[in-house]
Amino acid sequence: MKNGKAVVLVVEDSPIIRMAAVDLVLSAGYEALEAGDADQAIRILESRDDVDLVFTDVQMPGTMDGIKLSHYIRDRWPPVKLIVASGATILEESSLPGGSMFFSKPYDDHTITDAMARLLSSDTPIAPTN
């Protein structure tokens, strides 16, 4: 947390959806960072040590999708909480790293902010509830 505020990295290739997600993060009282793909997200994570949660889309251009990104983050930065969302992919929970939460798009803003609050207030992984 930076200055008492959780830092959330939004990873989404669609600029309009990314802006909406960033607005959602800010309205929930968190600091928002943004990346257009997994490679940019990894560069941000490598340059900062204060990212508490990553909120990523599944389908993105580049070297890895959101599922691979979530596994990479879990392996390299285990304390970072993960929320994964997709409008096209129905995921089996077993395909995500432990402690991740998955939401189908379109998602309810309140559901996402509630999930962020629960994940950020917990030191242990929380099982998905959707």
Domains of the chain and any CATH numbers: 7-120 (3.40.50.2300)
In the chain, at which residue ranges do the beta strands (DSSP E only) sit? 7-11, 31-35, 53-57, 81-86, 101-104
pLDDT confidence of residue 88: 72
CA 81 → CA 61, 71, 88, distances in Å? Answer: 22, 11, 23
Q: In what order do the strands lie in the sheet with 81-86?
A: 31-35, 7-11, 53-57, 81-86, 101-104
CA–CA distance, 21 with 125 (Å, rounded to integer): 22
> How many Å from the N-terminal Cα to the C-terminal Cα in the chain?
27
CA–CA distance, 78 with 19 (Å, rounded to integer): 27
Q: What is the pTM of this model?
A: 0.89
CA 82 → CA 10, 24, 86, distances in Å? Answer: 10, 16, 13
pLDDT digit string (tens) for the chain, length 130 residues = 656 799 999 999 999 999 999 999 999 999 999 999 999 999 999 999 999 999 999 998 889 999 999 999 999 999 999 999 988 766 665 688 888 898 888 888 999 999 999 999 976 544 444 4
CA–CA distance, 108 with 113 (Å, rounded to integer): 9
Nearest alpha carbon to residue 43 among 67, 20, 11, 19: 11
Coil, helix or strand for 96? coil
pLDDT confidence of residue 80: 96
